[in-house]
Structure 1
Amino acid sequence: MRDTPAANITQQALSYFQSPQPYFWHWVENGEVIEWTNGTTICYREELVQLLSYLAPDGLPSLSTLLLVLAACNDGWGEADDPMRAVYNLLYNSRLSGTRQQPAELKALVDQATSFLQVVAALPPELRKGLGKRQLLFELFAQQYRPLPGRWAQAVVDEWASGRLDTQLLASGPTLTSQRLEVDLSLLSRAYTRFPTTEILDSKLFTGLNQAPEPLELLPLPAAPEAADVLSELAADPKTAGLARLTQRLVASIRIPLHAQGTSDQPFGGVSDVSNQGSFDRLLLSELAQDDLTLTARLVNNEALYLRREEPPHQEQRQRALLLDTTLRMWGIPRVFALAAALVCAMPRRQLFTVSAYALGGHQVQPLDLTTKTGVTQSLAHLDPALHCGGALQEFVRTLPPVPLTEALLFTTAEQVQQPAFALLLSELKPALRFLITVDRTGELQLHEFTKAGRILLNTTHHDLDELLFAPSNLPLRPSSNEQPAFLAQHPAPLFFPTFAYNPGPHNTMHLPDMGVVAVTSLQRILYWPHRTEGARELLSFVEAGKTTFGFNGHMVCLLVSDQAKRLLRYYQLLPEGEMPLTIDLSTEIKDVQSTLEVHFIWPNFLVRVDANIRLIDCRTGVVVKRTYFDHTKKPDVSSERFNNQQIKLHVNNGYNVLLRVNRISIDNEGILTVGGHSLRLINEDRLKFTNKTKDSVGHEAAQAESDSYFLPFNKHVAFRRFVWPNGSEAVVDGRGLLHLRSTDDSVPEITLVLVLGQATAAWAADGKRAGSSYFIGTTPANFTPSDFLPANTFYQQYIQQFIKQLL
């Protein structure tokens, strides 16, 4: 930068951003929009500024190359006139000069580029829009030739973004040459050789691998109840069988030492007092000096004195936190290697540890679920283009419980640990870290322990990753087991949810007369009540804790979650119809904030004030626009201005209570299902309702409650408690106000009931049938047909009574 004169930067900016003539694209609307020559929009200036600034540190490809990829990312690529026809026509234009290749060779180059753009256009929307588009561009241009070097790129982008060159950019550019066309298309041609199909590119973007590991021969599973089922499910899937094999091999390699909590670790104390009650072995010696008659009298009259020992100290359960680095150096094989090591460490002795796992990005800490196959698969999708995870590691350490109760393990690459900046950070944070596990692409795994003296290498092992991950196997796969209730696999949920754990307020609620009520509950769930006559729809099962600011865009609910202390800024687009939400992490926009962070919604934008700067987040596109000013005469459009607490309470609850604390589930002597102190009965042949147990009701066949609870994936506020009958049938109490029943008889589908009192309830069966109150079923659901409705008495006889019958 310092050795580049301003005039040179201006000339480079003109050369980079001016369209050659003739070519497939040009500037319109005073330099705010780039279009195809046929008038189709390619991109807008604001989006292009963000993408170029993101790529600038490593240099920039030619603008024409970037525009072709952006055009392929847009919906409707190739539906009308083929956009690449304009490029084909250039091959036979007499004004092309500087030809280095024959027209046939140029046409082959265009054919390969076109084929690759079709590969990009076929990607799922989440991989070619929003943050997915950034990752796509990073992957395509990584380690490729870039005409504009990184040392000048940002200055060139800033010069263009200033607007000083707009007039010159609209003028006719230099004459297009064959050499320029070759540069623009050669990178796309090389990308086609790397990613010839959409499946390969999809796999690379989603997991960092060009191909999924092949299924392999399985070794006998170690005794590890917490993860044995997960490994079986991973082994049964060809895409994850290699991961299961590698995990099994690492069980013998990773041995984390245990340390006593105290000097002697003995739970016995001294004598704290004397008492007139106790066992004979604790009688005072003076009592034994009495004659037999006196001693007997003192014992009968409770006058004898006993020693009372101190109560043993309460041993708090320790925690094990697994921290997986997901930044740039971990992409590909190292991430799979580290995940396998984390699965091994997620199998502690239950009485010693509770285990939690987290993905560390550049500045963001995200929880992981390593207890289910779905959670493990989703863990592979966490990618962050930051150089190291130091910021996220510091953020995690700030939120740690007291160090003696937490055992933190960091998983990263050996190369990362050797970087001076990251090594210095580790030395500063070592009091909070207990162990370090490093992996590399050669198959070497090292286990280190942090002590007061420094970092000590405990052991090193080597593994053949090619053999473990990619070697083919002809062994039959074992079927996977499904431990989660069938209800959790339905999207959208087949029943509406009851309302509880919700205290309406302007800080957590948006109420619009034409849309309904949307709120964040104390369990960190986002619920939506479109009508007073229907229960809640769950738009999001978990949202981060922080300040919530609601917005809207037509039928779409928008939400911005911010927390200045945690450097958290996350944007959500939620569709009430039940489609998957769009999530954009914008935390990097506030990573350097010093003063108070302000967030408002002024349709159609969220306004975020960061120190002296303004960020506008467009609810229609999710695009962030940077501004240095804003018209403050506009009135913030916030839901609190229309907030009416009483009206909202009437809207979200029609007078029922929710049965939450369930300690006993049984079948009584009348053959009725009882939950706690309430029985599920058929009222007047047309309603299902939980009523108070009668005095004559006696529990006949009870389910035994398990001592441990588990949680809704990604939401530790929603607990599930499992009850098991002697024949193996199960009842699972869902912390969202539901009860799931699973029979050992395969002919009886799983059943889900809504645990409400004071009103009729509703039920759903895993074959799609449902019955009961329309408040929890709806009147015209979009996800099932009227034939799925059953009268309450028919559903009770065909499903609930059949479930009860196999228990008696």
Structure 2
Amino acid sequence: MELEAYFQSYEGYFWEWTTDEDVPDPSGYHENNLISIPNVGAIAYRPYVIEVLKELKDQGFPPFGALLLVLYALQDGYLNMDGVFYYLKKHSESFGTEKKDDIEPAMRFLKNLNSLGSSVKKGQNKMVLLKTVFKNTHNILSAGNSELIIKVFEKRPYKISASAEKKPLTFSVVNNDIKVLALLQNTFSTTEAIIESLKSVVDIPGLEDEVVQEETTVDNGKDFIQELTEDPKTFQVGSLIKRIWSGLKIPMRHLSPGEQPIGGISDMTNKGDFNRMLLSEFANEDEVFMNRVANHEALYIQREVPPEENIFERIILIDTSLKNWGTPKVLAFASAIAVIKHPKAHSECKIFALGQNIIPISLNTTDEVIDHLNQVSPVLEVSQALEKFFNEEHTEKELEVFFITNQENLEHQKLQRVIHENRDRLKFLVTTSSNGELNFYKHHKGTRKHVQKMVLPLKELWANPPKHKQGQAGSGNGIKVLVPQNYPLLFPTPKDRMKTFLYEGEFYILSNKKQLLKTYLSDNYYNRNIYQNTSIQRGCEVVLEDISVKPGGQFSLTKNKSGDYILAQYRPARNILSKLNLVTKEYSELNLTGQNIPPGYRLLYFNKSFYLHEEHAPFVFKAGTEGNISIEQVKNDDEIYRNDVKNEAEINRLKDRGIKILSNFTRIGINAADELVVSKWALTKHDENAYSFDKNTEEITVWSAQHKNKFTFGDGSEVVTDSRGMMTFMSSNKNIPAFYVPSTHYGYLALATEKEFGGSEYYLPKETKLKVREMDDMYSDYMDAFIKHILEYGA
């Protein structure tokens, strides 16, 4: 098999070659350097995949698609496995029943890999795991052929471009990939089987703990609490648990009747029938005897009970709605772990997160605690999920349920009703608050009794958080979805900026987010019949990001002989003149204290040089654009001032112009009018071909679940937000391509795909190959179809 054939991509298949322009490839060929699952997420960068293949070449390469599925399942952090399974199921339906028999075991194998402990899925241990599972696997390439593919790639990496051109998908391609995973499931039917196979290959520290992770007992509770306290991400939760233990008054263990005392002193009571009274009581004087009986001081023997099993099942429900976010949620998780890991709690306990859905969770490792702390449901209260829990999913009566929620949530009438109707099974109600107050209530014989109030000194307990361990900041948990530097349409131009420049007829902006932006004025500026800002100026594109510059002072921009952008900065308060190459990051500065530069001098650019200039001064200071920063005193030239006046007049066209950008995305959903809702704004049609975000007045019918900057709907459709003012929509319906909409609360919007554009010309790039269409047609073909697919899934 040749290189092109092994790395070949296919139309409609679960993976594709893409290009990340921001990440250079060590091979020198920077195109097609990333492998991703459309509308799901990245699998891996090409250099990493090549390194994995180099490790496997001695035993032969497995089918490339099977390898990619395994690599994705072994990633840490949040994974959209449902999105992957969507593709696999779709292909099983396309190619008949033969593939359906393999799909289910293939998916089970990927789930088993995904549920392995993190120590197995990192570094060299991960390579050992890959070698183990793919050793002598089905349809493997020979070692010689595998080594030849690596050699060809090292000499001619650009050959990948031929593989990136997608071919029609065939049955044999799917069969090769899925069959491998199905057979691996037969060999490694459980996570324990995978761990056992690794033990025979290599000694991995902590490997014994990987199997037991799912059934953690109280024996390691003390160590677990210590781990939570030492980890900066779980410190707040861990530091509360022992304090909660010290004051907790609810029963931690229910003894089964078979464990009750049936003899000796512990079997005596001061209430009972006369036939159970101790004979020694009748030896008292009559008056003493009657007093003991009347005052419940007489002793009786308890009735013996035959042994039987404890029939109660303990369940903890944690409210993850919007109002239970922040400190109340930290208290909720600390309370749940305090109940589960209490030294006297020997019974098993199930935990569920209540939000838009009922999600079973586990809190046995720090990674699990971090992951679930980061999850938030977009609903305001969880009465619907709580009612569903009792009436549909857990109808049995032998339950002991703890429900943990924010005190404010109890004001909702719907939630009050559900709690009251299920008070026989909802034994304990725990409420949290932002000031550290915990209240425990118990339902007994139809009434709610306040058991205890506990106020945790949060300021004291959280006074000394642990410092981040080295390398911890880059952990895979809670990482945002990466966004591109630019999109097919322009960004909205921000109002907040450090400086606006005019260089060689082009407008540039140094934004407060330390980006260099390029913006435009349209030809309509000189048309007096057009008065709207959005018809005069255009949006912007990002030229460079992450500029290391301190705010304040004066700025000027140019390019050097190599074409690199050079940013000069003059800070009069500190008498510092500096110069930064925005491409190479080369920086130099000069202290001007000895030059005695008077106040009022301004930093300007003129004729390939920077100047510290004052209109009436006979001499000014000149600094070159090449090399390290240095200045010389030169005679003033009137042309410098006249050029500056012209530049300022042009720049004033952009003065106070800009759009209010929606950057704080709290929730995304669909309202009763079938409109997209972002935070409190609904995407509404105003006139023909005119759409904008206005305040939402309709009830929200469908919410998405948020994970950092990604919002996922129930059907798998996703919205990825970019705080610079852009949203990416990726439908689970593969007939709807990815499309983009600006997130601004001003003026009319636009909608674009990689090939088409509709809406306000404000967002249309100056030089573009996009096909321009009517906005109504674009909205109907993309946004309306996106929303309808989500609603049809919910129905």
Q: TM-score range by the shorter chain?
A: 0.3 to 0.5
Larger Rg: 2
User: When the two structures are superposed, what TM-score results if normalisation uses the length of structure 1?
Assistant: 0.37
